[in-house]
């Protein structure tokens, strides 16, 4: 299964290249491989390309959406951001890095939920955050 089979996102705003694991309604893991050809690197920052932290949070949310949308109760629905809490950016992420994305649901109801996730490079935490979402 590919991320496009579940997620409504498409290039250039799909940040999950591969699904590693899904536990429907509970958790998911995926990978985003940064080539350096992504649209944001030339401007963030010229001469020192760095993945914006907010895009790492979005990538974590997309993996969380895989967990939600793989649950038959939510198939075909649209999870939308409701908020981000406790976001921490621990290390710089640059072209050539492989970002392993993890997100676990801490609460999942019919219309909303919460999740907790992180992005890792080489086993080292790059970003971690708690997410709130509504399900349209």
Domains detected in the chain: 15-135 (3.10.129.10)
Catalytic residue among 8, 18, 25, 44: 44
The answer, yes or no, to whether the previous bond of 130 is cis (omega within 30 of 0) is no
9 is an active site residue:
no
- Taking the C-alpha atoms of residue 16 and residue 29, their distance in angstroms, rounded to an integer, is 9
Q: What rounded mean pLDDT belongs to the chain?
A: 97
- Kindly report the pTM of this predicted structure: 0.97
- Look at the alpha carbons of 50, 55, 61, 63 in this order and tell me if their dihedral is positive or negative: negative
CA gap 73, 82 in Å, rounded: 20
Over the stretch 67-125, which tens digit does the pLDDT of each residue have?
999 999 999 999 999 999 999 999 999 999 999 999 999 999 999 999 999 999 999 99
| Residue appearing with tokens 């409504």 | 8
């Amino acid at each position: 299964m590919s991320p496009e089979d579940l997620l409504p996102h498409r290039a250039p705003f799909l940040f999950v290249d591969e699904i590693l694991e899904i536990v429907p309604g509970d958790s998911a893991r995926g990978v985003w491989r940064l080539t350096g050809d992504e649209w944001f690197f030339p401007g963030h920052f010229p001469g020192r390309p760095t993945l914006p932290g907010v895009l790492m949070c979005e990538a974590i949310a997309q993996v969380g959406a895989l967990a939600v949308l793989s649950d038959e109760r939510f198939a075909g629905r649209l999870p939308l951001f409701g908020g981000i809490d406790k976001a921490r950016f621990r290390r710089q992420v640059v072209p050539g890095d492989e970002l392993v994305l993890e997100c676990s649901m801490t609460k999942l109801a019919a219309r909303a939920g919460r999740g907790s996730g992180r992005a890792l490079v080489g086993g080292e935490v790059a970003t971690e955050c708690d997410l709130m979402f509504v399900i349209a």
